[in-house]
Each structure stands twice: as C-alpha cells, then as structure tokens.
Chain A
Amino acid sequence: MLNKINEIVAKVAGKPVNIATDESLFDSGLLDSFALTDLVTALEAEFKITVPDSDLNPRKFDTLDKIASYVENLQ
C-alpha cells in the first residue's frame, strides 16, 4: 500500500518522494494546494474508491501514513 501511494505521490509531484512516511507532503514542498486535488483524483482511480466531499480535508492527506490509513479504511 505505502509503495503504491509513494508512486502516486511521486507522479503527481513530478519528483521522487524522499521523505519519511510521517512527514508532511506540503511542508516538505513535495505537493502544493493545487496538486492535492490531483492526488485525490489519482487515489480514487488507482484504488477504485470514491472520496466523499465530507472527507475533503487536507489534513487527511498530509502524510504518506495518513493517506495509507485513509485508503485502507475506505476499501
């Protein structure tokens, strides 16, 4: 799961993900606000999930760990 999410983040960011799994994707400069939307869309496509509007909270997608946890709970 983490490896796949790492790949998706790298693709959206356009650069390798060389940060800890609990480090902020935004504070590290990997993703900006506009890339966040692309990330959610990519997660939906890859894991065949639908992120409801009520879950559109940037804090849920702030780190690789949080994303993995969120996707696991939704699957």
Chain B
Amino acid sequence: MAFLRGFGKYLPERVVTNAEMAAHLEVEADWIREMSGIEERRFAGDGESVAAMGAAAGLDALTRSGVGVGELGLILVSSGTAERRFPGPAAEIQHRLGAAQAIAMDVPMASAGALFALAQAERWAGRAGKVLVVASERMSDVAMTAPMEKGTAMLFGDGAGACVVDRDGGRARIVDFELGTDGSNASELRLEFGAPLHMNGRSVIMHASRKVPAAINAVLSRAGLAAADLRTILMHQANANLIAKIAQTLGVEAGKFYSNIARYGNTSSASMLIAARDWDEGFAPGDKVMFAAFGAGYQWGAMLVEGS
C-alpha cells in the first residue's frame, strides 16, 4: 500500500506566447490555439537544466508534503530530454537536494514517464518508505531543433513536476493502476540523438484515443466504478483536443479532466504532475481521482487514487 502526500512543480520564468511562437514558425497564432488549446508555454533558460528544474519541483513537493529531504529512501526521475546519455538526471537531483541517503533511479520515458514512475513508487514504497517522484523536461531544446515540423514544435514547453509517495500515509491512497506498452509503434514518436523530434500525429491520436479510455475503464471496472464517479481526471497535457476526444469516448464532460495546457503547453512527462500540483484542491475522504497518460513507446496507462 502507498499514498500520495503532495505535489510540486517548477516552471521557467520565460513565457513564450503563441504570437512569438507563430512568428518563429510562420503560422497564425490562432491556428496554434485551435489545434492544441495552447495559449502560451515556458522555455527554460541557461541555468534551468532538467536536473535543476527537477530538483526545484522535488523540493516544492517535499515542502508541501511536510517531508524532510533526509527522510527519502528513493528518488525516481522520469525524463525524455536528459542532456546526456549517462548518468541520467536522477543522480544529480539526489545531489542537488542533498538526499545522500536515498538511492536514485531514472525512468527514461517521455510523456507517460511520470505515470510509470508513480507505479514504480507504489511498488518500491514498502522498502523505501518515502519516495520522491520527479518528472522534468526541456522540450524546447528538441522541439525547436531544425528542421521543425510546425504542428509538433508549437506544442511543447519546459517544466518539472513532482510527487511524494509514502508507505505510511498521505492524502490519497493508490488503489490500482493499469499500464501498457506497444513497441510495434516505437518509430512513430521518437527522438534520435542529434535528430529532430519525430511525431506521427495521426498515429499518436489514433492510439491514444483508444488506449487511454481502455486503461481508465479497466481500472474503473476492477474498482466497480464508472467514469462519472471520478472527481477529476489528471491526464498528461498532450493536446486539449485529444483530452476532449478521450472525454467523449468515456462519456463524460471535458470538464471532468483538469487542464492547464493553455498556460504551459505540453511539457511531456512533467505535465501530469504539474497539472496535479495546480489542481490540488485537497482530497476529501473517498474522493476518486484518476491519473492517465500516453506517450512514446507507445506506453500508456491509468492510476486510480482515493482520498484518505
């Protein structure tokens, strides 16, 4: 058994509006908003590395959870945009936080990485006690690398999210999760070393539109719940239109999904935990909240938590 204690985030100060992005990409600003629901995003500066942003988000989560750095047994870090092959950002985040007693492991996954890291945290919490899950991305580095595909580049922003998972108690219990991987589509969404980001948007939308609702429904079915029973759904902020499509498939209003994509764009694996931090109204006992994500791999899943 494991519990969520609190969320954290870090967003770079630099705001990149659709007007600025549109001028750079030679498209209309309104087109960006219509295609994605995004109005602005943040771009990291020189000192805002994946590890620096991740450590800041992690510290925010620890502070909001009332957990000291010295209490951590494990740090899990998801990122698809780590600056080097190895070591990944987890070790550097451990050092930046001063959590020398904690082991640190990378989850080198974009988009769905935070969800998979949360699932790992649930399994590790019994041994590690308190686990800090961090998701940090510098998507601007890859999305703005020439040659840019306009419909891809306009989506992304930078930032980090975090969550403290605790074996001994917290504000919401992890009830169940469903994860999936389909490696036959690994080439459809990929980032090669030294190459621009490649995304077959049609394929991504086609698979996400079916796989995410299926994962959510599988978890709901095992819990004897319906989508309408959920207080909210905190999903990877990929694209507002995709979220609306998934809501339609589930038979719920799009408003059931919390969304902050208009302000931050798609921050890949960081987005789900940034959304959780922004949504964080407090879990009332019995509140059911679903996390969900889809991304490169393809990898996807859903996780049900219940207010304690």
Partners in one complex: yes
A34 CB contacts on chain B under 8 angstroms: 205, 209, 241-242, 245
Q: How far is the CA of A36 from the CA of B201 in the complex (A)?
A: 11
Task: Judge if B221 is at the interface, Cβ distance under 8 Å.
Answer: no
Judge whether B184 and A36 touch: CB under 8 Å.
no
Q: Is the CB of B203 within 8 A of A56?
A: yes
A58–B206 Cα distance when bound, in Å, is 8
Give Cα A29–Cα B225 distance, bound, in whole angstroms: 39
Q: Determine if B202 and A26 form an interchain contact, defined as CB atoms under 8 angstroms apart.
A: yes
How many whole Å from A43's CB to the nearest CB in chain B?
A: 13
Q: Which of B184, B203, B241, B242 contacts A58 (CB 8 A)?
A: B203
User: Does B211 interact with chain A (Cβ within 8 Å)?
Assistant: yes
**What is the predominant secondary structure among interface residues of chain A facing chain B?**
helix
Q: How far apart sit A38 and B111, CA to CA, in the bound complex (Å)?
A: 24
Q: Which residues of B contact A53 (CB under 8 A)?
A: 182, 207, 210-211
Which chain A residues lie closer than 8 Å to B209 at the CB level?
34, 37
Contact of B205 among A36, A54, A57 (CB under 8 A): A36
Interface size of B by CB at 8 A reads 16
CA distance A36 to B211 in the complex (A): 14
Q: How many A-B residue pairs have CB under 8 A?
A: 35
The verdict on B200 contacting chain A, using a C-beta distance below 8 Å, is yes
The smallest beta-carbon distance between B251 and chain A, in angstroms, is: 13
Contact check, A33 vs B184: say whether CB atoms are below 8 A apart: no
Choice from B182, B184, B200, B245 contacting A37 with Cβ under 8 Å: B245
Decide if B201 touches A37 in the complex (CB within 8 Å).
no
* 0/1 string, B197-219, CB within 8 A of A gives 1: 00011110111011100000000
When chains A and B are docked, how far (Å) is the Cα of A40 from the Cα of B203? 13
Q: Which chain A residues border B200 with CB–CB below 8 Å?
A: 58
- A58 in contact with B202 (CB, 8 Å): yes
Sample of 20 more A-B contacts, CB < 8 Å, known A33-B202, A53-B182, A56-B210: A26-B202, A33-B201, A33-B206, A34-B205, A34-B209, A34-B245, A36-B202, A36-B205, A36-B206, A37-B249, A40-B206, A53-B207, A53-B211, A56-B203, A56-B206, A57-B203, A58-B200, A58-B202, A58-B203, A58-B206
A residues sitting closer than 8 Å to B (CB atoms) are: 26, 33-34, 36-37, 40, 53-54, 56-58
19 A/B residue pairs, CB under 8 Å, sorted by A: A26-B202, A33-B205, A33-B206, A34-B209, A34-B241, A34-B242, A34-B245, A37-B206, A37-B209, A37-B249, A40-B206, A53-B207, A53-B211, A54-B184, A56-B203, A56-B210, A57-B203, A58-B202, A58-B203
